[in-house]
Amino acid sequence: MIRLPLHVVLILVVGVSGCASTQHSRSVEQSGFLGDYSMLQEGKKDETLLIYKNPQADWKKYQKIILDPVTLWIGKDSQLKDVSAEDRQRMADLFWVKLHDALKNDYEIVTTPGPDVMRIQAAITEAETSNPVLDTVSSIVPQLRVLTGVKGFATGVSGFTGSASVEMKVTDSSDKTLLAAAVDRRGGTKSLSGVTNSWHDVEEAYRYWAEKVRWRACLLRGEQNCVEPEA
């Protein structure tokens, strides 16, 4: 059994707790939700892993949003197969609520198409819980942090942490023109925040994506007071 002096443990805990909750993965699988992926390009540092932005879109004209229910797309090798139906529904509902709560600050949420209405459709394509015990231990014990860091360097997702993948598209609700599309994956870091909740990393990814959508929309409208979310 590895024993560490109390002061070393405290230093490690404080240092780890200050880390970001989630981080970008290095790659993501395409689920089929978007249908056509040919328009996507590799995202820049502050963007999703794969992204498309219609250069002709007039973002300032949109004042309202239709926010469709979040769906789940489960591939043959998806970890979602092992998730209960109740947890799947909870994840879909949670992501929708996060998006709704972020976007209602700047847009009117409606159900009827119109010339000033854009439609947002989102799908959860992967979700994997963390291992709370191993995540906690590996966050504190230096030897295990090194081992899990190797996985994080290769995949962008630290060992024993959770991860999630989503796909989203934004269209003009009237003429169905594609305005934007994105594919992304995020995973937990070795932060101790929420480490005892196996779904914490997934939930934090949803929170981050929702706030990122609001921030990105703010930039596309050409506003100056846009606040980038913390990971």
Q: What is the DSSP string of 122-143?
A: EEEEEEE---HHHHHHHHH-HH
Rg (CA), the chain: 19
Please report which confidence band the pLDDT of residue 138 belongs to, taking 50, 70 and 90 as the band edges: very low
How confident is residue 87, by pLDDT bands cut at 50, 70 and 90? confident
202 closest CA partner among 151, 138, 141, 132: 132
pLDDT at res. 163:
76
Considering only 30-44, 98-112, 123-137, which range has the smallest mean pLDDT? 123-137
d(CA 16, CA 217) in angstroms, rounded, equals 32
pLDDT attached to residue 105 = 93
The string of DSSP letters for 164-210 reads EEEEEEEEETTT--EEEEEEEEEEE-S--TTTT-TTHHHHHHHHHHH
pLDDT at 19 over 60: no
The span from the CA of 209 to the CA of 165, in Å, is: 10
Distance CA 47, CA 88 (A): 26
Residue spans of alpha helices (H) in the chain: 6-17, 85-103, 132-140, 142-155, 200-220
High-pLDDT (> 90) share of the chain, % = 47
| Confidence label for 225 from pLDDT (cuts 50, 70 and 90) | very high
| Among 110, 74, 77, 76, residue whose Cα is nearest residue 92 | 74
- How many residues are present in the chain? 231
β-pair partners for 119: 66, 171
pLDDT tens-place string over residues 91-118: 899 999 999 999 999 999 999 999 999 9
pLDDT at 217: 97
Evaluate if residue 33 carries a pLDDT over 80.
Answer: yes
Alpha carbon 119 to chain centroid, angstroms: 19
Q: Are 19 and 190 in contact (CB under 8 A)?
A: yes
The per-residue pLDDT of the chain, averaged, comes to: 78
Structure confidence at residue 75 (pLDDT) = 72
pLDDT at 77: 74
Query: Residue 172: what pLDDT?
Result: 98
CA distances from 18 to 50, 133, 144, 191, 193 (A): 28, 20, 19, 7, 9
